[in-house]
Amino acid sequence: MEVRNFKFSDLLIVYILILSIASCNSWVVNGEDTLDVIHYGAKGDGRTDDSKAFVEAFKALCRGRYGNTLVVPNGRSFFVRPTLNFSGPCHSKNINIKIMGNILAPKRSDWGRECSLYWIHFFNIHGLILDGSGVINGNGEDWWSKALQFDKCDGLQITGLTHINGPGPHIAVTDSQDITISHIHINSPKESHNTDGIDLTRAIRVNVHDIPIRSGDDCIAIKGGSQFVNVSQVTCGPGHGISVGSLGGHGSPEFVEHLRIKNCTFNGGDSAVKIKTWPGGKGYAKDIIFEDIILYQTNYPVYIDQHYMKTPEQHQAVKISNIKFSNIHGTCIDENAIVLDCAKIGCYDITLNQIKITSINRKKPASVKCKNVHGTATNIISPKGSCVNH
Ligand SMILES: *[C@@H]1O[C@H](CO)[C@@H](O)[C@H](O)[C@H]1NC(C)=O
Ligand SMILES: *[C@@H]1O[C@H](CO)[C@@H](O)[C@H](O)[C@H]1NC(C)=O
Ligand SMILES: *[C@@H]1O[C@H](CO)[C@@H](O)[C@H](O)[C@H]1NC(C)=O
């Protein structure tokens, strides 16, 4: 009897132990194993530094033992400090970080004097899905330069979230392929400096769609090494529009090709669609389509600037060719409706088609200005005149 009793209670203890370990690290929702940052010690009280808990939870997620989904739960605010490093490679192929609550960056005064390049850094994680209905609040601080940096994250998908008050670019994707960013909201004040909405650098096969972006700088910046990028149903403004570049800074060779910016709207803002390159640069920007664009009181809506930052002409420049501006309608704020300022080497195969841009300023009617532009202009209702050479 005694022996049997002893064995039974022993089993019970083991059973309770297993149960508590299991419930400590994961719980089951809809039959899917899910990890919760709370179970790794995060408080979510808007005050406590939850960075360590986030890193531990991510490590468990990455090991893939307790499931593929990490939840940041609803109804709480999690303080995480720069730089929060989420590093792969991960054991599991498709990992999902579901942000339902708020993630909040600290104010500089709360964390001393250090500066960081990134607030949250995702590195070398393949097949990451970042979604949920939560808010990522960069707190508008300028002491680190990028809010969410994704580096070598092939197969990345970002959807659903709201990003507000980014410290620099809200979302920066570098050295990654097969990316989808859609159905998110990006919102920071137009006075904020360097707050690009989305930055793509050496990003290949990218789809960005259905995103309203209010920012202080570029709405979307497509930088060197990017190829096969589609942007559609994006609404920009305030901000500086969708920019290719700047390319060729410090004389470096940069290449951008096969971009399609389609069905986008620009409210106000400092420009709509533009390509900017530095004199003295090498490389090219080619095979780029800007089409079905709507403008509301935008400055420099159609712009090629090969003398970026008013830098004087040099003997070398980034080559620009096969660029199509098509079906662009709306208003600009002064005469600078179409400005194509190409370097001496010339821009080639530039197509302007179906354009009607009028100025809201009667004293400054819309005009078209070009330098060294070769291509065709057809169905241009306004501005009047053409300066495109064959
Ligand atoms: C994050 O990673 C960077 C290098 O990628 C490192 O310099 C930094 O110290 C790390 N930060 C933390 C908090 O671990
Ligand atoms: C971009 O759009 C074009 C035309 O619709 C399509 O052929 C291409 O596959 C798309 N690229 C990506 C990366 O989705
Ligand atoms: C263009 O974008 C708007 C939203 O910005 C969307 O409602 C509309 O369906 C899109 N049109 C096409 C042809 O994709």
Which residue has the CA at smallest separation from atom 13 of ligand 1?
83
- Of the bound ligands, which one is closest to the alpha carbon of residue 264? 3
Nearest CA to ligand 2 atom 6: 230
How high does pLDDT run on average in the chain? 88
Six token digits for residue 134: 């939560």
Tell me the per-residue pLDDT of 327-349, one tens digit each, with 9 for 90 and over.
999 999 999 999 999 999 999 99
The domain at 32-180 falls in which architecture? Answer: 3 Solenoid (2.160)
- The one-letter amino acid code at 67 reads G
- CATH number for the domain whose boundaries are 218-389: 2.160.20.10
Residues in the chain, overall count: 390
Compute CA distances 346 → 248, 250, 259, 315, 316, whole Å: 16, 20, 20, 12, 11
In the prediction, which pLDDT does 33 show? 81
Tens of pLDDT, residues 178-231? 999 999 998 876 666 666 789 999 999 999 999 999 887 789 999 999 999 999
Q: How confident is the model at residue 145 (pLDDT cuts 50, 70, 90)?
A: low
Q: Say if pTM beats, i.e. exceeds, 0.85.
A: yes
Q: In 342-381, which positions are buried (b, 16+ CB within 10 angstroms) versus exposed (e)?
A: bbeebbbebebeebbbbbeeeeeebbbebbbbebebeebe
User: How many Å lie between the centroid of ligand 2 and the Cα of residue 169?
Assistant: 25
pLDDT score recorded for residue 188: 77
> Would you state the pLDDT for residue 385?
81
31's CB contacts (< 8 A; 6+ apart) are none
Q: Is the CB of 258 under 6 A from ligand 2?
A: no
CB of 329 sitting under 6 A from ligand 2: no
**Which ligand does the CA of 210 lie closest to?**
3
Query: Could you read off the pLDDT of 345-385 as tens digits, one per residue?
Result: 999 999 999 999 999 999 999 999 999 999 999 999 999 88
240 Cα: distance to centroid of ligand 3 (angstroms): 21
Distance between CA 91 and CA 175 in Å, rounded? 21
Average pLDDT over residues 10-38: 53
Q: Is the pLDDT of residue 16 over 60?
A: no
Q: Where in the chain is the domain with CATH 2.160.20.10?
A: 32-180, 218-389
Which residues, judged by CB distance below 6 Å to any ligand atom, belong to the binding site of ligand 3?
233, 235, 263, 265
- Residues with catalytic roles: 217, 240
Give the model's pLDDT for residue 340: 97
Which atom of ligand 1 lies at the shortest distance from residue 51's CA?
A: 13
Give the integer Cα–Cα distance in Å for 175 and 119.
Answer: 18
Determine if ligand 1 sits within 6 Å of the CB of residue 85.
yes
Query: Going by CA atoms, what residue is nearest to atom 14 of ligand 3?
Result: 263
Per-residue pLDDT band for 304 (boundaries 50, 70, 90) equals very high
